Structure 1
Amino acid sequence: MADEENLEQPQPLTVTDTDATAPAPKKGTSPANGKSGTLRTKAKKAEPASGKAKSRRYSDTERAEKLAQIETRASEGETLKAAIKEAGISEQTFYQWKRAAGAAEEPRAKAEASVDTLADLVALEEENMRLRVQLAEKLRAENAELRKRLGLD
């Protein structure tokens, strides 16, 4: 019966910290230009304290120079790994640059090959005509000699 009496009077609700937590505010607001997403700012790259090499971009000429330097050292008898290490790049970087350089030279090589192929084709056709003329002259000479021997001339 005591429960019936308590129903008539509302009990005040108490909220503890463990019962409900306020949602964390959203990080980053929508930028002023109207695009959705987080607001990104350009942060300056700090030098890593772990001792890893600093990320660097090389120009095409620097890449070509480093590749040439590695190739010359390797041709002088130094191991490829040692030459790559002395150039200051990783093996993976070396092979990526080498593949990219090969892909860049491939269209040039194809163009040169097509020109060479065309020039070779013309040279072969000229040689073929020259050989046909020689063969015809030789056959005429043999026919003439056979006719003389047979007395048909």
Structure 2
Amino acid sequence: MADLKETEANQVSAEVHVKEQTPDRKEKAPKPKKRTGQQAGALRTRAAKSVPQASSSKAVASPKVQTARKIYSEKERAQKLGEIEKQIGRGESIKAAVQKAGISEQTYYQWKKAAGQTTQSDGLKDLVKLEEENARLKKLLADRLRKENAELRKKLGLA
């Protein structure tokens, strides 16, 4: 009888031990993290480099390889925008002028919008400076006129 109780106790403890080891719910595998723009771009360029080149005998159109992005300074942006505007002024289409400059049409419009905003803010700054200078000149003129008026009164004997 003691053997039966020990056997049952061992079976119950074994069942509990097995239940502790296997969780009731399934654990989900971790989701892959989203790639940032630079990481995704690096993968694209690596993938493009690893694609074997088609032989010259085959006339297969290969997809365009996306080149690495170049970050332009404000000066370079202004120069490119100026070149594009000159070409457009000569009668060339925007699309052709932008392609010659080596940027996309979308980039051109974004740069143009940003340049327009800075010129407006620069214009506002200039206007404020002009108003300050105008106020200073008005005070200077008023002081001179007061002195002149006082001298004339003394000469005429009115003061």
TM-score (norm 2): 0.45
**Larger helix proportion, structure 1 or 2?**
2
TM-score (norm 1): 0.47
For the pair shown, which has the larger CA radius of gyration, 1 or 2?
Answer: 1
